[in-house]
Amino acid sequence: MAFTLEEIVRRFGGEVVGNAAQRVVSLAPLDQAGPQQLAFLANPKYLSQVETTAAGAVLIGADDLAKLASRDARNFIVTPNPYAYFARVAQAFIDLAAPKAEPGVHASAHVDPSAQVAATAVIGPNVTVEAGAVIGEHVRLDANVFVGRGTKIAAGSHLYPGVTVYHGCRIGERAIVHSGAVIGSDGFGFAPDFVGEGDARTGSWVKIPQVGGVSIGPDVEIGANTTIDRGAMADTVIDECVKIDNLVQIGHNCRIGAYTVIAGCAGIAGSTTIGRHCMIGGAVGIAGHVTLADYVIVTAQSGVSKSLRKPGMYTSAFPAIEHRDWNRSAALMRNLDKLRDRIKALEAAVAAQPSPGDD
């Protein structure tokens, strides 16, 4: 469970400066790393730590390496993106250390005879796979996962314990879905069928059947207890490499563009389209039937009620201040029209004054 620097660059790219035969056994921050550990410099403000680290080697950009006073007796892997490189190497160490799950279907799992399960898939305890479902190569379904009829889980995906995917959905290659996530629940749609007003109102809500599915692209990650509703007629669509945090709600018939990231507790109402490479902050709320352009950033806790057609950063949240100060300003805010009226009255009064040069 060790790699030489040469082995690392052969697999992940970059260039060794120093001793390519140096072995590393794990990763650590610059200020904590020892002689068998690999550290990384992602932020130039920690450059001085590179001078003093005991790390066996440091991942570094060429520019930062050039700034070092001395590189003697030190080893580096030079790469344009040390942070991403670090992430990839760290994953390799984890894959080495993690216990290998045996392919096969646990005796307590319920797999319908008409479902297709790849021989390399790992199906855990109490998993249910319904009729016609397709489970790809190397897929891992942990304990208590439910896969509804006709749903397809593509190769290399990992569904953690207790994930539920309703019928008629598709999950792309290498997806990671965390526990408690629910994919394909009914969208929230009801036709009002009421007659009369007030206490005399009669009638009811009529459920709109939700017959679309959810279609999720490759390399998507979905957080714990996140919910993604199935579409009403067509599918709800999550494009490739979208990353979604915990407790996020995505309504029916949304489309989330590739590479977009959505932080925890955000909620996106139905039929909304979000572009590619967007960043949606934590607890952001986005109304239904709006469109966000590519490269839109919405800061945490903001609310989007209309389409945002231009890339850029959007905000509507206030930071908390001391309660008493806030309340004073909030009271004035609710009466801004009165302040404006007083300004208007002043403007009229001043306009009616003889000007200084009138005499």
- Positions in 152-211 near a second copy (CB under 8 A): 160-162, 164, 166, 176, 178-180, 182, 185-186, 188, 190-194, 198-199, 201, 204-209, 211
100-139 binders of a second copy (CB under 8 A): 106, 108, 110, 124-126, 128, 131
Question: Residue 89 Cβ, how far from a second copy at the closest point, in Å?
Answer: 9
C-alpha distances (whole Å) from 351 to each of 298, 341, 346, 357, 359 are 43, 15, 8, 14, 16
Please, which residues bridge with residue 223 across strands? none
At 316 the three-state DSSP class reads: coil
| The one among 2, 21, 66, 87 contacting a second copy by CB under 8 A | 87
What would the two tokens of residue 303 be?
């609310």
Q: 146 — phi, psi (to 5°)?
A: -120, 130
Listed ranges 2-10, 60-68, 115-123, 247-255: which one lies at the site for a second copy (CB under 8 A): 247-255
| The one among 11, 25, 29, 67 contacting a second copy by CB under 8 A | 29
At 275 the three-state DSSP class reads: coil
37-76 binders of a second copy (CB under 8 A): none
Question: Residue 264 Cβ, how far from a second copy at the closest point, in Å?
Answer: 4
Render 267-297 in DSSP notation, one character per residue. EE-TT-EE-TT-EE-TT-EE-TT-EE-TTEE
Listed ranges 3-11, 14-22, 62-70, 304-312: which one lies at the site for a second copy (CB under 8 A): 304-312
Listed ranges 16-24, 49-57, 61-69, 296-304: which one lies at the site for a second copy (CB under 8 A): 296-304
What would the two tokens of residue 306 be?
């209309």
Q: 237 — phi, psi (to 5°)?
A: -125, 130
By CB under 8 A, is residue 11 in contact with a second copy?
no
Q: Which residues are catalytic?
A: 252
Q: 37 — phi, psi (to 5°)?
A: -120, 150
DSSP type of residue 114: T
| The one among 54, 68, 118, 317 contacting a second copy by CB under 8 A | 317
Question: Residue 32 Cβ, how far from a second copy at the closest point, in Å?
Answer: 9
